[in-house]
Structure 1
Amino acid sequence: MVDDRAVFVGEHLVRTFGATTAVRDVSCVVGEGARIAVTGASGSGKSTLLHLIAGIDEPTGGTAGWPRLDGHPRQHPGRIGIVLQRPALLPTLDVGENVALPLLLAGRPAESARLAAGDTLALLGLTELVDRLPHELSGGQAQRVAVARAVAARPQLIVADEPTAAMDTDGAAHLVDALLAVADRTCAALLLATHDTAVADRLQQRWHVVDGTIEPRPEPSC
């Protein structure tokens, strides 16, 4: 029986794209408070697996479940925070507005969204950037703002797909500092895909993806 503290449970997950199988027969559990690095070569299936866990893609076979959500993530906006390789901030909105936007889209009142965005920026040491537009930010600043946007709703799970890929060593270390700090503060599980051994070594558990499978099979992290 899976511990009811698990934030994600996948059983025999398969994801195909035409004749290509990106994820093949993966069973895994992401437990409450997990810190998991997902490693593997480009094209191994890391991103596809993360997208299944985040609920932004659907498996071709097997089952994906989020026990603590009582349903699909799309029915619970903000409960899973997603950080991608590029920040993808909206260029016409300032930092505060970018961070507040997902809260507004989830139905949060404007004042509540603004305050939550401000609190999250403060948590990540970004308060001084609140009125800046994306083009006024450095790459590292923009990526940390993307982290703030992903976690403003205090998600149960943070899924980060190669967020440090375009950064130098110092920038990557600072971003991982931010992700770990916010995950600790909000009691969220963190799942982070990376090619960087130094980044992976900072997380407590590692899943290595080879040809769409996790080798060795992951132990439950709860």
Structure 2
Amino acid sequence: MMNRPAPLPAPILAARGLRKTYGTTHALDGVDLNVEAGESVAIMGPSGSGKTTLMHILSGILTPDAGSVQFAGDGTGATEVTSLNEEARAKLRREHLGFVFQDGLLLPELTAVENVALPLMLSGVPRQGAESHAAQWLSALGLDGMQTRRLGELSGGQAQRVAIARAQVADPHVVFADEPTGALDSATSASVLDALLDSTVGRGRTLVMVTHDQTTADRCSRLVRMADGRMVADSASAAAGGAR
């Protein structure tokens, strides 16, 4: 009897037939996408191409009008994100996903360490333990000694590092980043991107990033291009085609 090959691991994210309409605008018009564990995927496209809508549906922030998203990173088999209610999607995001946004979305009334500790505390971790772990992440991202600073006392690059630490503190399987370097100068952007990549794919985690900057996209292992709500190019498909 011939030995069967071991089954390939399921992608950590699998989207099928995603559609989303706002009025008469087709933000997504039948998008299929697999994201493998450990990849860094840059999603690019002009304004209105659907790239941010795609990221928000993949992460469970939005639900599609049609189609499905499966997440296979929690160790319990694939979870169909699009079938979960709002509370269950929020729990999934809190426990398994991390987020970095262009403006950081830090709370200005909290210190750096309090901002980073917040996701852990929302999951029930006691304050002392949460802040201790948050301080370790701040130190790992070059912010040792800045734990008690508030947003107004940080540079743009430092604030984004705090946002990265907050995204990583619960050890998520996938980090979603929406224009994480869009408000930074080129030198600071490169430094922040280094920190983001090192703390995600450098630890075997997965990064999905929306960006308008080609230099930033070139740092990722894969590039997906969107136009008019459709995926029009995928470097993974191109590489597979060239390898045949």
Q: If the length of structure 2 is used for normalisation, what is the TM-score?
A: 0.85
How far, CA to CA, are the matches of 2:100 and 2:71 in structure 1? 19
1:25 equivalenced with 2:30 (yes/no): yes
CA-to-partner distance for each residue in 1:8-28, whole Å, 9 max, x for gaps? 110011111222111110000
1:200 equivalenced with 2:205 (yes/no): no
How far, CA to CA, are the matches of 2:166 and 2:210 in structure 1? 19
Among 20, 24, 28, which residue is 1:15 paired with? 20
What's the secondary structure of 2:120's corresponding residue? helix
Q: Which residue of 2 aligns with 1:52?
A: 57
1:216 equivalenced with 2:221 (yes/no): no
Among 45, 66, 69, which residue is 2:71 paired with? 66
Equivalent residues in 2 for 1:1-222, closer than 5 Å: 3-69=8-74, 70-71=78-79, 72=81, 73-76=89-92, 77-216=94-233, 219=236
Equivalent pair of 1:79/1:154 in contact (CA under 8 Å): yes
Equivalent pair of 1:54/1:82 in contact (CA under 8 Å): no
Quick check: which has more Rg, 1 or 2? 2
How far, CA to CA, are the matches of 1:112 and 1:185 in structure 2? 25
How far, CA to CA, are the matches of 2:95 and 2:138 in structure 1? 16
How far, CA to CA, are the matches of 2:157 and 2:46 in structure 1? 24
Equivalent pair of 1:4/1:67 in contact (CA under 8 Å): no
Offset at 1:167?
1.1
Offset at 1:186?
3.4
What's the secondary structure of 1:78's corresponding residue? helix
The answer for unaligned runs of 5 or more in structure 2 is 1-6, 82-88, 240-244
Aligned length: 220
How far, CA to CA, are the matches of 2:234 and 2:190 in structure 1? 28
Offset at 1:88?
1.5
Offset at 1:164?
1.1
Pair 218,196 (structure 1): closer, same or farther in 2 beyond 3 Å: closer
CA-to-partner distance for each residue in 1:45-75, whole Å, 9 max, x for gaps? 1111110111111111011111223534433
RMSD across aligned positions (CA): 1.8
Pair 217,62 (structure 1): closer, same or farther in 2 beyond 3 Å: farther
